[in-house]
Structure 1
Amino acid sequence: MRWWDIDPVLELEKDLFPEDAWSRGMFWSELAHARGPEATRRYVVAVDGDRLVGYAGLAASGDIADIQTVAVARGQWGTGLGGRLLTELLRAATAFECGEVMLECRIDNVRAQKLYERYGFEAIGFRRGYYQPGNVDALVMRLTMESDSGSAAGSAPEQGTEQGTEING
């Protein structure tokens, strides 16, 4: 993700997460930590032609990574794009030498929960009222990375994707 991606990312963010969308400042802050030799973040976007159709981000601290966001345009649901974005984040977690990857997922977002479960994430708890202002609970999930190969335990096979969709950092 680059600075010029922020406007289309914000449009998609507001469409998919109207109650708890990230602000422009939040994305700028994340991008500031995603560059240079001390980078602790990885953000990617998916484009189909000239249209941004997805984005995802991960933050690392020590040996733990945290998936910050994964978003796929409604017209791309069911194409495997969410899995491709997640795969890119797991590669980044491996590059950051993280042993675990954590995430929070809205308790009512069953589609996302199923994606994470296919990749080996397990539910480990809840965060009450985590998503504001809607006061929606979050399901906390964890994936333990394999130490010998550096890959994610239980990685799901890649699914088919629409032609022309590219993922860029």
Structure 2
Amino acid sequence: MNLRIERLRWWHLSAVAAMEIEIFGPEAWSEAVLWTELSAGHDYRAVFDGERIAGYAGTAYSGDEAWINNIAVDAAYRRRGIARALMDDLIARARAGGAKALFLEVAVDNAPAQRLYDDYGFVGLGVRKNYYQHTGTDAAVMRRDL
């Protein structure tokens, strides 16, 4: 594998939207939503294996706060450190951008993601009831100081 992290571009969005469906099912973001994210200036990065996207993550900034919008890894690439590489990159970019804290929401039933966030020092702030509209799943809100 020859993995590299690069900025996500508009021509990658159809592949990312397909990955969204595979990973998030009814809660997947559409290609149109992903376009909106990029056009709003949010920072999206992808891990590439050649031309194939192995995983991606997006961050939005507001003042001295950064929010992880999403982080996902293709099933064929899991357990290879892709999510950690994305987390390391987005934390470094948030710090470099002047963020003092990093926030995220994660489905309460997504134990693997919660373990990753715990490993990175995120702490729970509360729960947003029925946050995920299509499934009614609650989301845990987490924060990490930078």
Structure (1 or 2) with the larger CA radius of gyration:
1
Q: Secondary structure at the match of 1:19?
A: helix
For 1:79 and 1:10, locate their aligned partners in 2 and report how far apart those are by CA, in whole Å.
22
Q: Paired residue for 2:5?
A: none
For 1:49 and 1:99, locate their aligned partners in 2 and report how far apart those are by CA, in whole Å.
34
For 1:75 and 1:121, locate their aligned partners in 2 and report how far apart those are by CA, in whole Å.
26
Structure 1 length-normalised TM = 0.80
Q: Paired residue for 2:3?
A: none
Q: Is the 8 A contact 1:43 1:56 kept in 2?
A: yes
For 1:26 and 1:91, locate their aligned partners in 2 and report how far apart those are by CA, in whole Å.
25
Matched, 1:5 2:6: no
Q: Secondary structure at the match of 2:98?
A: coil
The total of aligned residue pairs comes to: 139
For 1:98 and 1:52, locate their aligned partners in 2 and report how far apart those are by CA, in whole Å.
27
Amino-acid identity (%): 39
Instruction: Return the offset for 1:116.
Output: 0.8
User: For the aligned residues, what is the CA RMSD?
Assistant: 0.9
For 1:77 and 1:141, locate their aligned partners in 2 and report how far apart those are by CA, in whole Å.
23
Q: Point out 4+ residue stretches in structure 1 off by more than 6 angstroms.
A: none
Q: Paired residue for 1:47?
A: 48
Bigger share in strand: 2
Which sections of structure 1, spanning at least 5 residues, go unmatched? 35-40, 146-169
Task: Within 5 Å, give how 1:139-158 maps onto structure 2.
Answer: 139-145=140-146
Bigger share in helix: 2
1:29-80 CA deviation, whole Å, 9 max, x = no partner? 111122xxxxxx2100111122111110000000111000000011211111
Higher RCO (Cα < 8 Å, 6 or more apart):
1
